[in-house]
Amino acid sequence: MKKYLSFFRLRFLMGVQYRAAALAGIVTQFAWGFMEIMIFSAFYRADATAFPMSLSATASYIWMQQAFLAFFAAWMMEGEIFDSIVNGNITYELCRPVDIYNMWFARSLAIRTSRAVLRCFPILFVAGFLPAPYGLGAPADGLHFLLFVLTLLLGLAVTVSFCMLIYVLTFFTISSQGLRMLFLSSMEFFAGAVIPLPFFPKKVQYVMELLPFAAMQNVPLRIYSGSMTEAEMKRAIILQVFWLIVVTVAGKVLCRAALKKVTVQGG
């Protein structure tokens, strides 16, 4: 366990060194957040009663989404891992006395955490002072906040586990580009990164909430914004735990199968 914590610590410390990149990301995320809120507000002016979430709740959803973008952005994956699988440098990783799945998991978790730590506080601070209904509102109560933190961590774990599954599947392909395009597009759309899931028709929303993608950012952001009932929160948390176990086990099983048959330069 200590060696994986060391991998996490090293990657985390490396990640927090890129402050200029974090500043550029903060500016970009502010611009994107304001743009999204302005688009939604235009629709709300036409008929505010036609939407399942209030404009204030939607704004809170968007600002929390931007603050913790590094936790859930599907495209924030390590190109270094893909390259090592494709060009054969994976052999150096296999020489280490570690479980390669656990090592990659710790690295991925550390990178996302370091990026989120650098970016979330300025966004939360500024968004909290914006006028209603365009700013970041407070959670309904202390319980909602605690559930938000719990589901945020579970959502992060599910996201990293799913990214690990994509890394492992690369062993079975010639190029990772097709896999990345397919899975990353699906993750962004079905997780509520483009449009919050409550805005979809009820039957479509019900199906989407059963998928593993909904166990990522959809749950914590909706709990924080107050758009879930108590029964929906319990169901969502159970599904988060379920998909975390399923995706992690699937990734580990596929990783073992891939490593048994991996061939590097014909050897």
- The rounded mean pLDDT for the chain is 88
Residues 167 and 107: beta-carbon distance below 8 Å: no
Q: In whole angstroms, what is the distance from residue 163 CA to residue 180 CA?
A: 9
Instruction: For residue 30, give both structure tokens.
Output: 């502010």
Residue 43 CB: number of other CB atoms within 10 A?
Answer: 14
Tens digit of each residue's pLDDT (9 = 90 or more) over 91-144? 777 777 888 899 999 999 999 999 999 999 999 999 999 988 899 988 888 899
Residues 161 and 247: beta-carbon distance below 8 Å: yes
Tens digit of each residue's pLDDT (9 = 90 or more) over 146-161? 999 999 999 999 999 9
Tens digit of each residue's pLDDT (9 = 90 or more) over 35-62? 999 999 998 888 877 788 889 999 999 9
Q: Residue 89: what are its φ and ψ, rounded to 5°?
A: -70, -5
Residues 65 and 102: beta-carbon distance below 8 Å: no
Residues 196 and 65: beta-carbon distance below 8 Å: no
Q: What is the model's pTM?
A: 0.92
- Mark out the alpha helices in the chain (DSSP H runs): 2-15, 19-46, 55-67, 69-72, 79-87, 90-94, 100-128, 142-169, 177-190, 202-210, 218-225, 230-261
Q: Which distant-in-sequence residues (6+ apart) come within 8 Å of 197 by Cβ?
A: 205, 208, 209, 214, 218, 222
Q: Is 172 exposed, middle or buried (0-12, 13-18, 19+ CB in 10 A)?
A: exposed
